[in-house]
Structure 1
C-alpha cells in the first residue's frame, strides 16, 4: 500500500474525530483537510477545487434564493396555516397533518431552508392550539428529511450525488429517479414516525416571552371585519387567549368597553380588540386577515413591500408639536409620511383607540414608513430618538403567488428535461430578484454559505478517496458480501456504511466519501451505478438517531427544548426500519 493510502486514511480518521467532537466548524475542518490533501499531492489543484464549480453545489445555492423569496412573500405561512388549521384531534392525527404536508413541500423545496421557514409557522400553530412544541419539531425535521428523498431537488445530498455522477461522465439522476424508492419509503416512514412521536416524545413547553412590569409593551387596537374567520367564536376558541408575547385585554363594542376580556367573551364584526404586546408580535398580528388597523392608509398594511416600507420606533420629545394632540387630529400621516401601528407609554396601559390617544412626551410610537423616514426625521426636534424596529419580511399578495408560480416553473422545466436544473433554478432566481420578490441584500442573507462550502470541499475529498486506493480496497471487502448474500448484501453494505457515517459527520461529506466506494463496487460487479447512487443519497439523508446527523435536526434542537436522548428514542428505531425498507425496495426495483 502506498503513502497516498496511509496518509489519506489517517487524514480521514483525523477529520472524522474533529467532526464528531465538534472542535472546529465543519466547513473549516473540511477545507483544512482539502488543503492538506492538495499539499500532499493526493489530488491536483483542479480536483481540489472542482467542487466550487460543481452543478450540484451551485443548484443548492440557487434553490436557497427561491426558498428565500417564498419566505419573504409569506407564501409558506399562508399554506401552513391553511393545511394545519385548528384541531382538537389526537396527537397522532395532528402529527399526520403536519408531517405529510411538510414532506410534500420538502420534495420540491430544499429541506434546510424549508425547516427554517416552517419553525415559526409551527411555533405559531402550537401556541394557538396550546400544544407542546416538543411534540412537533422532531417530526417536522424527520418528515422533511423523508420528503427530501422523493425528488432530485428535495435535499442538497441528492444534488451532491447527482453532481458526482456527472463528474464521473454519467448522465446523473433523473428528477424522479429517486422517487421510485423515496415515495414508498416516505409514506411508511412518516406513519411510523407519527406513531413513535405520539408515544415517546416529551411534553415540553418552549420558554415564552412573558409580558409584565419590566416588559416594554405596545398597545394596538384592531377592528374586526366580515373577513375575520373567527367571528362569533369565543376568545378561547379563536386562539387569542394564549398568544406568545401578546395579550388581549379589552374589547370595545358599540361604544361599550368590555374589560378585562374573558376567555368566554365572543368576538363579533365591528368589535375593536385591544392587544398589548412586543413590537414584532404586534407587527405580525396586524397582518391577520379580518383584523384591520386603519382602512384608508396610503399603503397596504397587510401586504406592504418590506424593501420599501420599514418599521421604526420613535420617541416623542418634550419640544414636539405632537404633545397634547390626539393622533387623529395631529395629521401624523400627512406630516411624517408614517402610520402609527401601536403606542408604548411607560407605566401605563393605554385603553383608547389609537386615533383617540392624546400624545405625551416620552411616548414611543411603533411606525410603518418608507425607507427614507430615518434619514428625514433622525435629527428632528420632534423626536428624542428614531430607530429601526424588528424586521418582519412582507411582500404583496401578488408577489407571493408569483413566487409559487416560479417554483412550479422550475420544477416543470426540470421534470420535462426542457432545461437542466441549474439553468431552470438560475432563471427562477433571476426572475424573483428582478421582480423584487427578494432583494440582493436578502439573497446574501438567505444563502447558507457554510453548506455550500461543505459541499464544495466534499467533492475534492471524495476524489482523494478514489485516488488513494481506499475506494478500491473497501469495494473489494464489500464485494465479498456478494459471495454470501448476493447483490442485496452489497446494497445493504453500501447503505449502512453511509448511514452510520452520516450519524457523526455532515451528510454531504458522508455521501461524497462513500460514493467512490459505491461507484467502484458497481463497476466491479458490472451492474448499473444508479441503484448504488440512490442508496448513498437516501442513506446519507436518513440520519435520525442523533441531532448532529442532519442540519435540520440541529435547527429544531433548541426551539423544541430537546435532549440528545429524545433523538435516540425516536430516531434509532426509525433509522433501522427505514434502512431495511430502503435496501429491500432498491433490490426489488432495480434487480
Structure 2
C-alpha cells in the first residue's frame, strides 16, 4: 500500500505545483520523476526511458522542420486566406474547421509545428493576441485527429492492441461515427462561447508599439501587388498594428491625408511610419518594393548572410546635414536604409528628402558583419542588431514546403512507419541544403518542451507500477456499473481522459485497454464500441498542457499559464465525454 499512497501524494503535489506555477513545468516534472525513483516506484531506467522515446525525439526533429518552414510564404498566404483580414464572429469556424479536416489525414504534431509560427506572424500583423488562437490550433488538430485511423498515433496504438488480441481492429472511418459529431460540436462551441475563456495577453510587439519608436519608410507599388486598383481600406492598410500610411505620391502629386477610399495605383509611392518589425513584414508583401537592388531583395533574403541593424548617428557623423538621397549610403556602408527614427517624433516627409541630424536612428539592412565593421566608428554612436527573423530565398522556401509535404505523405501512406525517421531525414536534408543552418537548427529546438514530454513517460510508468492506475480505474468502473452500458461508456471515457491529462495519450490508452477488454468479456458485448470510446478519450486532452504533445507545443509560444488550459479545457473534456457517450450508445447499442 505504501507505493499507492506515496505515488498518489507525489502526483497530487505535482498537480498543485503545476496549477499554482510554483516553478517552470519542466522543473516540476523532473522533480516528480526523481521523487518517484527515490521512493522505489520506478527504476532509473524506467525514469529516463522517455528520453529515448521515439515520439519525444520526433518532436525535436519537427521543431527544426517547422523553423525551416518559416522561409516558405505559401503557408502564410494560405493562413491569410483562411483567417481573412480581421477577427469577426466567424473566424473560429474559418480557422478550426479546415485545420481539423487536415488533421484527420495528416499527423497533428507536424501540422501544429508547421502552422504555429505562421499563425503567430498573422496575429502580429493584425494586432491580435496569439493566445486567442494557439489553444484553438491545438484543440482543432486533436479533435480532427480522432476522426480517422491515421489521424493520431493513439488510434493506431489502440488498433494495434486490438489486432494483438485477435480482434478485427478499426476500419479507416470507424472512429468518425462518434468523433465527427464531436468535432463539429466542439468547433461550434468554440466559435460561439469557448473563445471567451481564452486569455488575451500582449506580446512583445504590442508592448513595443506603446514605446512609439516609429521609423518612416517609402515603398513603390509594382504590377504584382495583389490589391492594385483596390482602396486603402480593402488593401488592409488603414488599421495595421504599428504601421501608419501617411502619404501617397502619384506622378509628383502628394495625397495627404490618405482617405480609406483612396485607390492604390501602379507606380504609386506609399509613405509609412511604423515599428521595425511591422516595416520588415510590410517589405515582404508582394508588389511593394523598397529598392531596385538584387543583392538586398528582402523577399529573397538569406538571414545567414544579411540582417537588420539600428544605427544611431553621432554628433560628428559625416552624414549629418545631408539628405538620404545625397549621402550615397549604399556605396559607402554596403547597406541600405529601410527607415529613419527621430527622437520619438513622427517624420512626415519623403525618405529621400529627410535631412539627417545627430541622434537619428537608422533602420538598416546590411551584411551580417555590419555591426562588427562599424561599431567602433565615429560615424555612429551606437550600432545594434534589430529584427531577428529567419528567411531564405524563395526557391529554398518552396523546397522546405515540398520536403514537409513529402515527410507527412511518407508516414500517412505507409512508406515509413516511423515519424522519427521521416522527421529526422527531412531535418537532415534541410540542414544539408542550407535551408536552415546547423546553428539555427539547434536554436529551433524547444528543450523545455522535450523535457516535459520525456518526463511524462516516466511519471506514467510510476502511476502504472504503483498500482494507482489499476486501483482507480477498477473502483471507478465498478461504482457506475449500476448505470448499465451508458455508465460503462462514460466511465471508460472519463477515466481515460483523466489519465491522459496527467500522463500521455498513448500511455493512458495502453493502461485502460485491458480493463475495457475485460469489461466487454464479462458483459458479453462487442468490445469495438468500448475501444472507440477509449481511442477518442485518450486523445481528448484539453485541460492540461502536459497531456498532449500539441498542447505542450503551443504552451510557451502562446504565453499561457497552466490555469488557462484548465479554464478552457475542462469544459471541453466534459463536452467531449457527453457527446462521445451519447454517440457510441446510439450507434452501437441503441438496438440492444
For the structure 1 residues 159 and 517, does the alpha-carbon distance in structure 2 shift closer, same or farther, using more than 3 Å as the test? closer
**C-alpha separation in 1, matches of 2:170 and 2:215:** 53
Q: In the alignment, which residue of structure 2 is the partner of 1:51? A: 50
Q: In the alignment, which residue of structure 1 is the partner of 2:64? A: 65
In the TM superposition, residue 249 of structure 1 has moved relative to its aligned partner by 1.0
Q: In the alignment, which residue of structure 1 is the partner of 2:20? A: 21
For the structure 1 residues 589 and 9, does the alpha-carbon distance in structure 2 shift closer, same or farther, using more than 3 Å as the test? same
**C-alpha separation in 1, matches of 2:477 and 2:316:** 85
In the TM superposition, residue 488 of structure 1 has moved relative to its aligned partner by 5.7
Q: Does 1:509 align with 2:507?
A: no
Q: In structure 2, the residue corresponding to 1:386 is in which secondary structure?
A: strand
**Does the 8 Å contact 1:102/1:144 carry over to 2?**
yes
In the TM superposition, residue 170 of structure 1 has moved relative to its aligned partner by 9.9
Q: In the alignment, which residue of structure 1 is the partner of 2:286? A: 289
Q: In structure 1, the residue corresponding to 2:439 is in which secondary structure?
A: helix
**Does the 8 Å contact 2:513/2:534 carry over to 1?**
no
Q: In the alignment, which residue of structure 1 is the partner of 2:540? A: 542
Q: In structure 1, the residue corresponding to 2:299 is in which secondary structure?
A: coil
For the structure 1 residues 319 and 24, does the alpha-carbon distance in structure 2 shift closer, same or farther, using more than 3 Å as the test? closer
**C-alpha separation in 2, matches of 1:393 and 1:283:** 12
**Does the 8 Å contact 1:73/1:437 carry over to 2?**
no
**C-alpha separation in 2, matches of 1:211 and 1:6:** 52
For the structure 1 residues 537 and 23, does the alpha-carbon distance in structure 2 shift closer, same or farther, using more than 3 Å as the test? farther
Q: In the alignment, which residue of structure 2 is the partner of 1:227? A: 224
Match of 1:524 among 513, 518, 523: 518
**Does the 8 Å contact 2:502/2:546 carry over to 1?**
no
Q: Does 1:372 align with 2:369?
A: yes
Q: In the alignment, which residue of structure 2 is the partner of 1:4? A: 3
**Does the 8 Å contact 1:4/1:42 carry over to 2?**
yes
Q: In the alignment, which residue of structure 2 is the partner of 1:387? A: 384
Q: In the alignment, which residue of structure 1 is the partner of 2:413? A: 416
**C-alpha separation in 2, matches of 1:563 and 1:517:** 25
Q: In structure 2, the residue corresponding to 1:223 is in which secondary structure?
A: strand
**Does the 8 Å contact 1:220/1:341 carry over to 2?**
yes
- Structure 1 alignment gaps of length 5 or more: none
1:98-497 to 2 correspondence within 5 Å?
98-104=95-101, 107-110=106-109, 113=113, 116-124=116-124, 126-127=126-127, 139-140=136-137, 142-149=139-146, 158=153, 162=157, 180=176, 182-183=179-180, 185-196=182-193, 208=206, 215-346=212-343, 349-419=346-416, 420-478=418-476, 480=478, 484=482, 489-497=487-495
In the TM superposition, residue 235 of structure 1 has moved relative to its aligned partner by 2.0
Q: In structure 1, the residue corresponding to 2:364 is in which secondary structure?
A: strand
**Superposed CA offset, 1:186-223 (max 9, x none):** 2342234323358x6799896956978x6322100111
**C-alpha separation in 2, matches of 1:33 and 1:132:** 33
In the TM superposition, residue 75 of structure 1 has moved relative to its aligned partner by 4.2
**C-alpha separation in 2, matches of 1:50 and 1:175:** 32
- Structure 2 alignment gaps of length 5 or more: none
**Does the 8 Å contact 1:27/1:454 carry over to 2?**
yes
Q: In structure 1, the residue corresponding to 2:272 is in which secondary structure?
A: strand
In the TM superposition, residue 466 of structure 1 has moved relative to its aligned partner by 2.5
With normalisation by structure 2, the TM-score equals 0.82
**Does the 8 Å contact 2:72/2:401 carry over to 1?**
no
Q: In structure 2, the residue corresponding to 1:91 is in which secondary structure?
A: coil
**C-alpha separation in 2, matches of 1:405 and 1:21:** 43
**C-alpha separation in 1, matches of 2:201 and 2:4:** 51
**C-alpha separation in 1, matches of 2:47 and 2:564:** 38
For the structure 1 residues 347 and 98, does the alpha-carbon distance in structure 2 shift closer, same or farther, using more than 3 Å as the test? closer
**Does the 8 Å contact 1:235/1:262 carry over to 2?**
yes
**C-alpha separation in 1, matches of 2:23 and 2:344:** 47
**Superposed CA offset, 1:433-488 (max 9, x none):** 22232333333333222222122122222222222222332343355368545666
**C-alpha separation in 2, matches of 1:352 and 1:320:** 22
**C-alpha separation in 2, matches of 1:580 and 1:209:** 42
With normalisation by structure 1, the TM-score equals 0.82
Name the stretch that deviates more: 548-557 or 25-34: 548-557
**Does the 8 Å contact 2:71/2:393 carry over to 1?**
no
**C-alpha separation in 2, matches of 1:533 and 1:344:** 63
**Superposed CA offset, 1:316-368 (max 9, x none):** 23333333443344332233221111112336544444344443333221111
**Does the 8 Å contact 1:518/1:532 carry over to 2?**
no
**C-alpha separation in 2, matches of 1:197 and 1:580:** 16
**Superposed CA offset, 1:104-138 (max 9, x none):** 455545266456425434425654xxx89897666
| Cα RMSD for the two superposed structures | 4.2
Q: In structure 2, the residue corresponding to 1:385 is in which secondary structure?
A: strand
Name the stretch that deviates more: 73-82 or 418-427: 73-82
**C-alpha separation in 1, matches of 2:158 and 2:27:** 22
Q: In the alignment, which residue of structure 2 is the partner of 1:79? A: 78
Q: In structure 2, the residue corresponding to 1:288 is in which secondary structure?
A: coil
In the TM superposition, residue 39 of structure 1 has moved relative to its aligned partner by 2.0
In the TM superposition, residue 74 of structure 1 has moved relative to its aligned partner by 4.2
**Superposed CA offset, 1:403-449 (max 9, x none):** 22112111121122222221111101111222232333333333222
